[in-house]
């Protein structure tokens, strides 16, 4: 099946070449970091997690989001998703690869990474995160590949693979829950120390992941002659809307807890993220525009979808714009705000703002490009098989 990825129109090769450029830049930046140290990043003693971990957190959500396609199809036998479940599985594979790369980019001694397995430590949530991420990755590789090969031969997939399909459902939930637990259980980090972190992560994941898949479908409809079907897209956008609204509800609850209880630790991060924080005469607000963009983007995306649904005018353009807005909005919320907002007040009660360095951004873009490179190849194969079966 691999050969399907090796044939394509010039635009396909152009796209891969562009990604290749970013991958190269990322690789060079990474080598610099590898030889000089993580001091090349904007992180420091008082703010010791940054862009890498926040991208990781967001991408775990993207990977888990595929569940919203797999579950209706396999559990509720919702046939309209038949053509796109494979897209959910393949998105999960590339998202988790990105996650693993971000972790490797983040740790100070990458060559010792295996110590996590050599000295397994069940009381550490990072250990469990590794377990569920690797598990989910393997499950998706197995399910995606077996189902696709059988579809190509036009025979039913073997029974045993369904065991793995059903197993992957709780795994999808667990990867994001355990990722939330990395944050939720830390004493003294008030912004993260809340049980709503996990459900909020899941809600935003179930909007962001499917939104990305819809975007991919719309794009492939134009360039690859692949139609996911109107009903499927319609249904996915409904799921996205519910998930995004639930996420907004959870964010509002955070505001209530903070501003009604008036406990400083619960207010500080929200204040910093949305309004700016004053401390000893200095004003810290470098993330405010991003967080308001999150609010606006999500509201606009939801508004567009609601309008389209009520008037029954869900054009591709409208759906695409709405999904792009929601995806970007949720990225700003979780891929920037959640991690950096939680860190702005240090345990020693100083305010430290974070500015990533060019080198760090280079690595980040490189990893995203690598993920999209893998995703492109996988989607190319999946569509190639569908065309072969139909044509």
Partner 1 sequence: MDKQRRKFLKIAGATALAGVSAPAVVKLTSTPSLAASDHGAAAGHGDSHGEEQPTGIRYGMVIDMRKLYGKPELMDKAIEACHSVHNVPHFEDKKNEVKWIWKMPFENVFPDHSVYYSAKIKEENEYFALCNHCDHPPCVRVCPTKATFKMEATGIVAMDYHRCIGCRFCMMGCPYGARSFNWFDAKPNIKKYNPDFSARTRGVVEKCNFCAERLPLGKEPACVEALKDTGAIVFGDLNDPHSELRKILDKEPTIQRKPTLGTKPSIFYIV
* Contact residues: partner 1, CB under 8 A: 36-39, 43-46, 48-49, 103, 106-110, 112-113, 115-116, 118-119, 121, 123-127, 130, 182, 185-189, 346-350
CB of 138 to partner 1, least distance (A): 20
Q: Which is nearer to partner 1, 106 or 386 (CB)?
A: 106
How far apart CA 4 and CA 341 sit, in angstroms, is 44
Q: State how far Cα 158 lies from the chain centre.
A: 31
CB of 125 to partner 1, least distance (A): 7
Q: Which is nearer to partner 1, 123 or 262 (CB)?
A: 123
Q: Which is nearer to partner 1, 115 or 149 (CB)?
A: 115
Spatial CA neighbour of 23 closest among 374, 368, 278, 336: 368
CB of 176 to partner 1, least distance (A): 18
Rounded to the nearest 10°, the torsion over CA 249, 50, 355, 192 is: 40
Residue 153, φ and ψ in degrees, nearest 5: -80, 0
Spatial CA neighbour of 130 closest among 96, 158, 106: 96
CB of 95 to partner 1, least distance (A): 20
Handedness of CA 371, 99, 329, 279 (dihedral sign): negative
Q: Which two tokens stand for residue 327?
A: 């995806």
Q: Which is nearer to partner 1, 115 or 225 (CB)?
A: 115
CB of 94 to partner 1, least distance (A): 23
Using DSSP's 3-state secondary structure scheme, residue 58 falls into helix
Q: Which is nearer to partner 1, 100 or 107 (CB)?
A: 107
Contacts of 379 (CB under 8 A, 6+ apart): 87, 90, 216, 220
CA angle 241, 296, 376 (to 5 degrees): 60
Q: Which is nearer to partner 1, 4 or 189 (CB)?
A: 189
How far apart CA 140 and CA 199 sit, in angstroms, is 23
Q: State how far Cα 79 lies from the chain centre.
A: 26
CA angle 321, 102, 213 (to 5 degrees): 25
CB of 101 to partner 1, least distance (A): 15
CB of 263 to partner 1, least distance (A): 11
Spatial CA neighbour of 65 closest among 162, 163, 201: 201
Contact in structure between 269 and 312 (CB atoms under 8 Å): no
Q: Which is nearer to partner 1, 153 or 349 (CB)?
A: 349
CB of 192 to partner 1, least distance (A): 9
CA angle 246, 331, 273 (to 5 degrees): 85
CB of 330 to partner 1, least distance (A): 23
Q: Which is nearer to partner 1, 264 or 303 (CB)?
A: 264
Q: Which is nearer to partner 1, 187 or 391 (CB)?
A: 187
Q: Which two tokens stand for residue 156?
A: 């039913």
Q: Which is nearer to partner 1, 20 or 265 (CB)?
A: 265
Which secondary-structure segment (H or E) carries 277? strand 277-279
CB of 170 to partner 1, least distance (A): 22
Residues composing the chain: 391
């Amino acid at each position: 099946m691999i050969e399907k990825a090796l044939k394509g129109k010039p635009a396909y090769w152009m796209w891969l070449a562009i990604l290749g450029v970013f991958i190269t830049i990322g690789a060079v930046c990474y080598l610099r970091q590898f030889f000089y140290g993580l001091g090349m990043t904007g992180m420091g003693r008082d703010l010791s997690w940054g862009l890498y971990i926040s991208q990781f957190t967001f991408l775990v959500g993207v990977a888990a989001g595929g569940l919203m396609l797999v579950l209706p199809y396999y559990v509720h036998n919702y046939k309209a998703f038949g053509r796109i479940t494979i897209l959910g599985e393949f998105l999960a594979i590339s998202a988790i690869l990105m996650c693993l790369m971000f972790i490797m980019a983040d740790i100070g001694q990458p060559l010792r990474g295996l110590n996590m397995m050599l000295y397994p430590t069940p009381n550490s949530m990072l250990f469990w995160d590794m377990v569920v991420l690797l598990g989910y990755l393997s499950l998706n590789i197995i399910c995606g590949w077996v189902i696709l090969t059988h579809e190509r031969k036009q025979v039913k997939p073997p029974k045993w693979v369904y065991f793995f399909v059903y197993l992957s459902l709780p795994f999808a939930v667990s990867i994001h829950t355990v990722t939330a637990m990395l944050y939720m259980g830390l004493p003294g980090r008030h912004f993260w120390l809340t049980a709503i972190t996990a459900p909020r992560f899941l809600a935003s994941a179930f909007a962001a992941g499917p939104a990305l898949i819809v975007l991919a479908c719309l794009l492939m409809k134009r360039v690859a002659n692949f139609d996911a079907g109107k009903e499927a897209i319609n249904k996915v956008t409904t799921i996205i809307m519910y998930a995004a609204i639930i996420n907004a509800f959870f964010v509002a609850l955070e505001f209530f807890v903070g501003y009604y209880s008036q406990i400083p630790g619960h207010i500080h991060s929200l204040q910093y993220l949305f309004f700016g924080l004053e401390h000893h005469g200095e004003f810290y607000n470098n993330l405010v525009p991003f967080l308001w963009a999150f609010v606006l983007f999500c509201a606009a995306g939801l508004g567009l979808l609601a309008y389209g649904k009520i008037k029954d005018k869900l054009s591709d353009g409208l759906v695409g714009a709405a999904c792009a807005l929601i995806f970007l909005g949720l990225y700003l919320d979780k891929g920037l705000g959640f991690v950096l907002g939680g860190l702005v007040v240090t345990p020693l009660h100083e305010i430290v703002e974070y500015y990533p360095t060019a080198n760090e951004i280079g690595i980040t873009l490189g990893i995203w490009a690598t993920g999209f490179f893998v995703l492109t190849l996988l989607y190319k194969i999946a569509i190639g098989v569908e065309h072969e079966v139909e044509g």
